[in-house]
Every structure is written in C-alpha cells, then in structure tokens.
C-alpha cells in the first residue's frame, strides 16, 4: 500500500515538473501568444479620378463620383469571421450608393471588375449575366456595403460575415443605386459608377 502511494506521489511530481517548468521561450505561452495574433487587415484607399492604366481608384461617372472623392476599405479576418468597413468622402450629399466586393481589379470600364465575390458561388451564374438568385446574391453570401452619405457627401458602412475569404476580392465597386433584393434582380444596384482596386 505504501509503495503504491509512493509511486503515485512520484508520478504527480514528474507531471508537475513537466507542466510547471520555468523556460518561457517555448511551450504553452508561445503557442498562446501565436494563437492570439490576428492576421493583418487588408486595406485599400484611393482618390477617384478618370481611368488611366494602373490607377487604383477610378470614377466612371464624374456626376455621381466626382474627381477628388475618396474611399477607404478595411478587410479584417479572425478565425471564421470577416468584417469589412468602407468610408467615403466627397460623393453626392444625402444619397445612397450600392457597393460590393468584386472578383477582379478595376479596369477601363466598370464591367472589368467582374462579378460579385460570393462565398458560395451560384452554379447557374457567370460574369455576364451576373448572379441574381437571392439564394446566392444576398448580404450573407456576398459583401454588401451600401453607403448613405451625409450633407457633406461623406459616409461609412460595415459588413460582418460568418466566413473568411478563400480568395481575396480584387475590387470594391460603387453603384449608382441601392442594392436590390428581389428575385431576378437580387444584388443589382444600377450602373457601376466607380471602382477601387484591392491589392492583397
């Protein structure tokens, strides 16, 4: 009986020594520190102007997105959650614009940005025509950032998704109108009036 108790005490001492070591250069503390580190957010910002090759922020309609207007986009991802924020300045005052993340960079026309980024892709859709099925074209499966400006033409919007990107979106497209939700028009928001490229 005494021998069994002694073995138990010895084993307990060994476990305690293994778990309570004083070397802080590795082990649980380092693992915990690494686990707490969130990926750096992806950011994009630019001042809108007419198209030229390599321009990051392009206005396709200066009446709706005047030269000198700005956009600032931040994409943060932690574990299985994505939060995207958009800030704009210098747009038309007291107006709602549609805004979505797209799969391709900005180009000479708004169509160059391709379709909306979808977490679950609509199997029946292509770049043209785009997905308009509300089962896929919705604010939970895409990133919608519709923004309403104040009296100065400034505004902010935010979207939080319960998933992370499998591929980084390549652009933010600003549309002329508020995003629609009805079947056959879901995800549409009028013409593409501006584009901000996102470099991951």
Overall pTM > 0.75? yes
Residue 20 phi, psi dihedral angles, 5° rounding: -110, 30
pLDDT tens digits along 24-43: 334 333 334 444 466 789 99
Q: Which of 73, 74, 76 is nearest to 39 (CA)?
A: 76
Q: Where are the alpha helices (DSSP H) in the chain?
A: 2-19, 28-36
Same domain, 92 and 148: yes
Same domain, 10 and 62: no
pLDDT tens digits along 155-182: 999 999 999 999 999 999 999 999 999 9
Q: Where are the alpha helices (DSSP H) in 27-80?
A: 28-36
Same domain, 60 and 24: no
Same domain, 17 and 52: no
Same domain, 8 and 97: no
Tell me how far the alpha carbon of residue 129 is from its chain's centroid: 23
Domain hosting 187: range is 39-197
- The C-alpha atoms of residue 71 and residue 65 are separated, in whole angstroms, by 11
- The C-alpha atoms of residue 150 and residue 156 are separated, in whole angstroms, by 10
Same domain, 7 and 78: no
């Amino acid at each position: 009986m005494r021998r069994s108790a002694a073995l138990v005490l010895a084993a307990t001492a060994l476990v305690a020594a293994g778990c309570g070591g004083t070397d802080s250069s590795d082990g649980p503390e380092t693992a915990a520190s690494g686990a707490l580190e969130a990926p750096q957010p992806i950011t994009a910002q630019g001042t809108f102007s007419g198209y030229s090759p390599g321009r990051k922020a392009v206005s396709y309609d200066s009446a709706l997105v005047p030269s000198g207007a700005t956009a600032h986009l931040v994409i943060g991802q932690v574990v299985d959650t994505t939060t995207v924020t958009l800030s704009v300045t210098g747009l038309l005052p007291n107006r709602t614009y549609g805004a979505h993340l797209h799969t391709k960079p900005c180009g000479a026309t708004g169509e160059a940005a391709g379709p909306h980024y979808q977490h679950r892709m609509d199997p029946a859709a292509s770049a043209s025509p785009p997905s308009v099925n509300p089962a896929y074209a919705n604010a939970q499966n895409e990133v919608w950032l519709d923004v309403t400006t104040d009296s100065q033409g400034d505004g902010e919007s935010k979207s939080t998704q319960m998933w992370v990107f499998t591929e980084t979106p390549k652009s933010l497209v600003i549309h002329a109108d508020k995003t629609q939700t009805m079947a056959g028009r879901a995800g549409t928001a009028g013409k593409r009036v501006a584009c901000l490229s996102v470099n991951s």
